[in-house]
Structure 1
Amino acid sequence: MLQSAHSPLNSSLPPPLPTSAGLADKLKRYVEFGRTYVTFYKTGLKNVYRNYRASLPLRKQLGLPIYLPVSPPRTISHQNPKKERQESNLGRGQFQLVRRSARDVRRMIPFTMILIVCGEFTPLIIPIFGSAITPATCRVPSQVEKERVGSVKRKLAALESGRLPLKPDSSEQLRLLAKQFADLAWTASADPASVLRACAVFGLVKRHDKTASALLAGLIYRPRLTRYVEYLAIDDRMIRAGGISSMSATEVRIAVEERGGVDISGTSDRKQAEKLERRWLEQWIALKKTVQ
């Protein structure tokens, strides 16, 4: 089971100062503020290590290297039936543990270096790099929400660059995501601009309209998109086997966001948003079942 560092951080922070507080008091409060964050980050890094240790038997089962934190899948399943059977033997929780712990380990080294060098000033530095170097266990809610807003903007910009504008919660957009962007045959034949659009929608690239990125689409981004689409196919099968009703609200939201549905709720009411996200994921699974 994944361990996170989502301890009650806000309750540990020093109380706000009155507006009349002097410079010395403000500086002292910031140092205390920074130390609280450092403690939070250290707990998060410990959880990265624990998660990866817990994933080692599963990595051996999948034939993944122990000391290189690569994420499954490494090969296309329909080209390697044995690999597909190995992944299918894992439950979704175990599969996600292997995948997410490897991703966090890849971010652990740069994040740790910043923490060592910057100490209490780390909270000022982390927003510059965002999730690119921050393990999931070290992200505070405000950072997660900022990343979500950025993902929505990148996705909408990529979709609006197409021929027809699509409403965020429309069935047309869902079909575009499920039957084109998340289809292995499409990723193999799509033009570079479309590959970049799909990568931006799935959060695999920051911009969909860079000239340099278009030149590298065939060498870097098409293989990256292909691996990601294969991951989604595996995850779809696991979700279908376990049932969406058995998934927590957090897991449903993550699954929706991974499939490009980061803007489908449009509401701050989490209960209502969860209902919309579950319905969206059900529609996605139904669509993917018709094409697999």
Structure 2
Amino acid sequence: MASIAKGNVPLWNTSMRSCHRSYTSVRHRPLPSHHHHQPYLLYKSTSSPFSTSATLHAHVQAQVVSKERPRVRSSTQPTKSITPRASAPTLDTLTNTHINAPISTFPAHLDTPDSLPASASAPEKLKRLVAVGRAYLTFYKTGLKNVYYNYRAAIPIRRELGLPKYLPAVPPRRRNGSRPANSGDSNADASMHPEFKLGRGRFQLVRRSARDVQRMIPFTLILIVCGEFTPLVIPLFGSAITPATCRVPGQVAKDREAGSKRRALALQAFAASTGKTVPMAGSDAERAMLVDVSRGTFAREASAQQVLQVCAMFGLVKKHDRAWGTAMAGLVYRPRLVRYLHYLEVDDRMIMDAGVDALSADEVRLAVEERGGGDVAAMMSGVKAETREREWLNKWVMERRALG
């Protein structure tokens, strides 16, 4: 074979170089993009106020970078919707035309290590437990950071609503002398209900951020003290101190199960007090009863016992027969129910204007739960569950429109 002249590049060397360049370019990690529905917060902070230890934080970051498959992905992955138009915006892209709240108002994706076989050694099991604790710690810190940035983004919107700048007051606030939201006068609605100018996405951002800020201080203290053991302590307190962005899937499922039992008992007690038949869970009769008690006049005319029962249906109290409940109904529970029914009134109006099909799958499920229909798709999952929930919400909106 003829020798290669000096300065000539052999063919095999060129191919190997091009192959090497293509290999290294694949391993480069692209920057986050809003088109992939990344959350608003996707940077690594070296001085996080929520870290229990700077050394531990650096070790966690080294573990995530060094592994081929990261332990925790801080990106929020929404449920795929059967409606192509339904998508959740980010804080950067949120406008008054969005019906869905920002994706950062939902919990981030939690990716824990795979389970080990029963024959695994004790060191391997201990190593996995440590990895699980770190995964939860990163998940909680991401959720708290999202709470902070959600509230920062909501401050200008709070000014538009006339709410206190930093005090976490939850909208809407009915103005004195205001009429119902479905009065039909668009000018009156705009002046007495400024929430309609915001759009549902921005309105829900203000509401959810205020709700999460109220729980942020006690949850942060527990996270600082307990660190990786926070998942073992949180069940003792439940969702009362846990922001929605920091609730793990197991906690969400447990809350739904508890809410289902509470709702069933409250429905039975309400049906007995009114002389009606107890409706089946998820039936049209149950929805009709919920629509009937969602009228604003009901909260003002119902008895103290019925107010407590309806509060339990909508998840405003934990028990419909709690001690001193009827005695406190006039001071606490009746005003709470009036405010909540006003919120449903405003939210229903926004959904009517945009249509249920514009909601994402996560928004549909949350809207159904807020209206007392959490058992609609209890035995279903995936697309079937979403389809059933959309049908239920569509009927709810139609029946609420008929009441107007």
Q: TM-score of the superposition, structure 1-length normalised?
A: 0.93
Which piece of structure 1 moves more, 78-87 or 162-171? 78-87
Q: Distance in 2 between matches of 1:33 and 1:170?
A: 40
Which piece of structure 1 moves more, 24-33 or 77-86? 77-86
CA, structure 1 residues 168+83, in 2 after alignment: closer, same or farther (shift >3 Å)? Answer: farther
Q: How does 1:80-159 map to 2 (within 5 A)?
A: 84-159=192-267
- Kept in 1, the 8 Å contact 2:146–2:245? The answer is yes
Task: State the match for 1:173 in structure 2.
Answer: 286
Task: State the match for 2:163 in structure 1.
Answer: 64
Which piece of structure 1 moves more, 41-50 or 77-86? 77-86
Which piece of structure 1 moves more, 256-265 or 16-25? 16-25
How far does residue 169 in structure 1 lie from its aligned partner after superposition? 2.4
* Rg comparison, structure with higher value: 2
CA, structure 1 residues 7+221, in 2 after alignment: closer, same or farther (shift >3 Å)? Answer: closer
AA aligned to 1:160 is Q
How far does residue 171 in structure 1 lie from its aligned partner after superposition? 2.2
How far does residue 14 in structure 1 lie from its aligned partner after superposition? 3.4
Task: State the match for 1:231 in structure 2.
Answer: 343
Is 1:48 equivalent to 2:156 in the alignment?
Answer: no
CA, structure 1 residues 204+227, in 2 after alignment: closer, same or farther (shift >3 Å)? Answer: same
Q: Distance in 2 between matches of 1:247 and 1:77?
A: 32
Task: State the match for 1:265 in structure 2.
Answer: 377
CA, structure 1 residues 49+207, in 2 after alignment: closer, same or farther (shift >3 Å)? Answer: same
AA aligned to 1:69 is P
Which piece of structure 1 moves more, 162-171 or 131-140? 162-171
What are the superposed Cα offsets for residues 232-286 of structure 1, whole Å, 9 maximum, x if unpaired?
0000000001111111111111111100000112323321111111111111111
Classify the secondary structure of the residue corresponding to 2:324: helix
CA, structure 1 residues 269+17, in 2 after alignment: closer, same or farther (shift >3 Å)? Answer: closer
List runs of 5+ in structure 1 lacking aligned partners: none
Task: State the match for 2:334 in structure 1.
Answer: 222
CA, structure 1 residues 78+31, in 2 after alignment: closer, same or farther (shift >3 Å)? Answer: farther
Is 1:291 equivalent to 2:393 in the alignment?
Answer: no
Task: State the match for 2:310 in structure 1.
Answer: 198
Match of 1:38 among 120, 137, 155: 137
How far does residue 6 in structure 1 lie from its aligned partner after superposition? 4.2
How far does residue 4 in structure 1 lie from its aligned partner after superposition? 4.7
Q: Distance in 2 between matches of 1:83 and 1:198?
A: 30
Match of 1:279 among 391, 395, 399: 391
CA, structure 1 residues 223+14, in 2 after alignment: closer, same or farther (shift >3 Å)? Answer: same
Q: Distance in 2 between matches of 1:146 and 1:189?
A: 34
Task: State the match for 2:61 in structure 1.
Answer: none
The sequence identity of aligned pairs, in percent, is: 52
AA aligned to 1:219 is L
Q: TM-score of the superposition, structure 2-length normalised?
A: 0.68
Q: Distance in 2 between matches of 1:130 and 1:30?
A: 22
Which piece of structure 1 moves more, 52-61 or 78-87? 78-87
- Kept in 2, the 8 Å contact 1:5–1:43? The answer is no
AA aligned to 2:256 is R
Task: State the match for 1:9 in structure 2.
Answer: 110
How far does residue 84 in structure 1 lie from its aligned partner after superposition? 3.4
AA aligned to 2:383 is K
CA, structure 1 residues 259+4, in 2 after alignment: closer, same or farther (shift >3 Å)? Answer: closer
How far does residue 35 in structure 1 lie from its aligned partner after superposition? 1.7
CA, structure 1 residues 290+263, in 2 after alignment: closer, same or farther (shift >3 Å)? Answer: same
Match of 1:255 among 357, 367, 386: 367
Count of residues in correspondence between the two structures: 289
Which piece of structure 1 moves more, 66-75 or 262-271? 262-271
AA aligned to 2:208 is R
Q: Distance in 2 between matches of 1:212 and 1:23?
A: 51
How far does residue 174 in structure 1 lie from its aligned partner after superposition? 1.2
Q: Distance in 2 between matches of 1:67 and 1:121?
A: 31
How far does residue 27 in structure 1 lie from its aligned partner after superposition? 3.8
Q: Distance in 2 between matches of 1:291 and 1:5?
A: 32
- Kept in 2, the 8 Å contact 1:34–1:121? The answer is yes
Which one has the bigger helix percentage?
1
Q: Distance in 2 between matches of 1:17 and 1:277?
A: 36
